[in-house]
Structure 1
Amino acid sequence: MPQATDNAFFDRADAHIELANRQLGDSDNPGTVAASMTFAATRFSTWVSARGFKSGEEMAAARDAMLTYFCDQYRLMLEDNLDDHIARFDQYMSGQHPVE
């Protein structure tokens, strides 16, 4: 997985996951909560990226590079989490978390 940018990286991620877990109680379909979380992540990342440009035209010129960067980052993080859940499937599915 990519290097965490600061000490609070996982704390922030855990806070988002905690919110999503609370929202599961309001939903019959966990996939809808996951879809909302993914949408929020893409919307926020787009907004953060837009702040670095002076115009829509400048941002449009960097669109393909941004898509590549964010898709690559998502894939790396997804691969890491998939591998982790595969390796610790019984622990995670029984509610036990491995010692880090």
Structure 2
Amino acid sequence: MTQATDQAFYDRADAHIDLANQQIEKIEDLGKVSASLTFGASRFNAWMSARSFKTSAELAAAREELLKYFCEQYRMMLEDNLDEHIEHFDRFVLGKGD
């Protein structure tokens, strides 16, 4: 956990993951739940970004910068989580101890 990332960050993320896990139990389709979660995150980030501007033109001018930022952030987080799942595959995926 980095200095800028406090426990509340992980608690919020875990709440979203818990909801996704509940949805998986109901529809048993990992891909559909993942797609909905990704869409929700992108929709929220678009809304949050739009609130930072006074006009549509300002938002449009920042579009590429916003896309680059969010794509870089997602890639960094996905890389970290994939590396963690590779390292702890037996425990995370197979349910076996380290």
What is residue 86 of structure 2 aligned with on the other side? 86
Counting helix residues as a fraction of each chain, which structure ranks higher? 2
One-letter code of the match for 2:90? Answer: D
Q: CA RMSD in A?
A: 2.0
Flag the 1:96–1:12 CA change in 2: closer, same or farther, 3 A: farther
What is residue 26 of structure 1 aligned with on the other side? 26
User: Alpha-carbon deviation of 1:25?
Assistant: 1.5
Q: Aligned runs of 1:17-96 on 2, under 5 Å?
A: 17-95=17-95
CA contact (8 A) 1:2 1:77 kept: no
TM-score, normalised via structure 2 length: 0.90
Flag the 1:6–1:50 CA change in 2: closer, same or farther, 3 A: farther
**% of aligned pairs identical?**
58
CA distance in 1, matches of 2:77, 2:4: 11
CA distance in 1, matches of 2:66, 2:2: 16
Q: Where does the alignment leave 5 or more consecutive residues of structure 2 unmatched?
A: none
User: Alpha-carbon deviation of 1:38?
Assistant: 0.2
Q: Where does the alignment leave 5 or more consecutive residues of structure 1 unmatched?
A: none
